[in-house]
Structure 1
Amino acid sequence: MRCDEGCGANNRGAHGSMELEVGNRSGRVKQADVLVSRVAAMALLFLVGGCATTSSTQGSVRLGVVDSQKVLNETDAGKKAMGSLNSFMKNRQALIELEEKELKRMEDDLIKQASVLSANAKKDREEQLRRRAMEFQQKVSDLNREVQEKQKEVLEAFREKVEKVVAKVAQQMGLLVVIERGRAGSTVYNDSSLDLSARVIEEFGKEAH
């Protein structure tokens, strides 16, 4: 399962993780996209029983395509997974904002009092501010790592559910291969008749009741 947008200070490449948002200060992490639906385009590839040579004797390859982003967005299980991830991220974001507010207060106080402080006192305050800024950046990094780990945990758990449902639908339809469709997938084009997404979403609904 891959994610397009979203959780970690240093992990915004192929997996496109979410990141906590920090204000307009130097050296801060990039802004997060809180819409985690963009976070979670899953790269799925399912081989369902048999092999390609089996289908060749019947003159056609029996395959299907699933849009994992659609499954994520339109199933109760997917919405629940994204809700828990969003809640976790907002909690960490609130901690970052509190720390940043305190850091800004210290900075503003130093600027206001700079003209009346002795050289030694000013140097001490600057050193305190520098240490606090370093601690702040470390906390941002730590909390971003927590969000990354939570994202991985939630999306991998959902991916396992999707695999089981896709396998069930594919077996019901006699398909040998199901591939993922979308930005994170391997298909450039497919006929709409191959799209199993609606069937997979329907099956998710049945299993929820």
Structure 2
Amino acid sequence: MKNISKIFMFLLIIAIPQIAFAESSKIGVVDLQKVLNESAKGKEAVKLLEVEFEKKKKELDIKENDIKKLEEEISKRGSLWSEKVKQEKEEDYDKKVKDYRRLQTDLKDEFQRKNKNFTDKILSDIIELVRTVGDEEKFSLIMEKQNAIFTSSTIDITDKVIKLYNGKEKGEK
């Protein structure tokens, strides 16, 4: 009987700090991707990128059409040309394809770089805001929602962060 009471006392001593921690801890989750996609600043960044790269995309489309026209010309009239003319056209075609691919790769790389710059800046601001919310509302832990297997909607602070971030941005303008 003494052993059972000792074991019970030992378990109670171990359990008390955990119970106290569970009562005082406040946990939250935030969906950073949703904040990026739905915040005013995130939407603005997407629009800026789209506008900037739309013109460059049109240039790329023009080059692609030129290549297609040249390819059609070579296939239709190639048999009528001399070897020298045919070779020059094929070399011109190869050069245009190579330039097109290089431009396509450069545009993709530039887009990814600028997108990363916008995203990093916005994420930095969002994380700072999440820390502020955590401090003000006495959260013990706020983690990114994608890293959790399951979360209750009651601990999701994403919409609150979006609202605060949009309000913060309006206040700065």
Q: What's the TM-score once normalised by structure 2's chain length? A: 0.79
Identity of aligned residues (%): 24
Rounded Cα–Cα distance in structure 1 between residues aligned with 2:53 and 2:92: 29
Decide which structure has greater helix share: 2
Name the SS for the 1:64 alignment partner.
strand
In the TM superposition, what whole-angstrom CA distance separates every residue of 1:100-138 from its partner, at most 9, and x where no partner exists?
111112112222221210122212211221122112111
Rounded Cα–Cα distance in structure 2 between residues aligned with 1:203 and 1:176: 20
How has the CA–CA distance of structure 1 residues 59 and 93 changed in structure 2, closer, same or farther, with 3 Å as cutoff?
Answer: same
Is 1:152 equivalent to 2:107 in the alignment?
A: no
- Residue in 1 aligned with 2:11? none
Where in structure 2 are the equivalents of 1:75-154 lying within 5 Å? 75-154=39-118
User: 1:69 deviation in Å?
Assistant: 2.6
Comparing 142-151 with 123-132, greater Cα deviation is found at: 123-132
Note if contact 1:85-1:154 (Cα within 8 Å) is conserved in structure 2. Answer: no
RMSD (CA atoms): 1.9
Note if contact 2:29-2:143 (Cα within 8 Å) is conserved in structure 1. Answer: yes
Where in structure 2 are the equivalents of 1:1-209 lying within 5 Å? 58-60=20-22, 61-181=25-145, 185-207=146-168, 208-209=170-171
Q: What's the TM-score once normalised by structure 1's chain length? A: 0.67
Structure 1's unaligned 5+ residue stretches are 1-54
The count of corresponding residues between Structure 1 and Structure 2 is: 152
Rounded Cα–Cα distance in structure 1 between residues aligned with 2:158 and 2:40: 14
Note if contact 1:66-1:179 (Cα within 8 Å) is conserved in structure 2. Answer: yes
Note if contact 2:36-2:119 (Cα within 8 Å) is conserved in structure 1. Answer: no
Structure 2's unaligned 5+ residue stretches are 1-16
In the TM superposition, what whole-angstrom CA distance separates every residue of 1:24-64 from its partner, at most 9, and x where no partner exists?
xxxxxxxxxxxxxxxxxxxxxxxxxxxxxxx9684224221
Note if contact 1:81-1:158 (Cα within 8 Å) is conserved in structure 2. Answer: no
Q: Which has the higher contact order (CA 8 A, sep 6+)?
A: 2
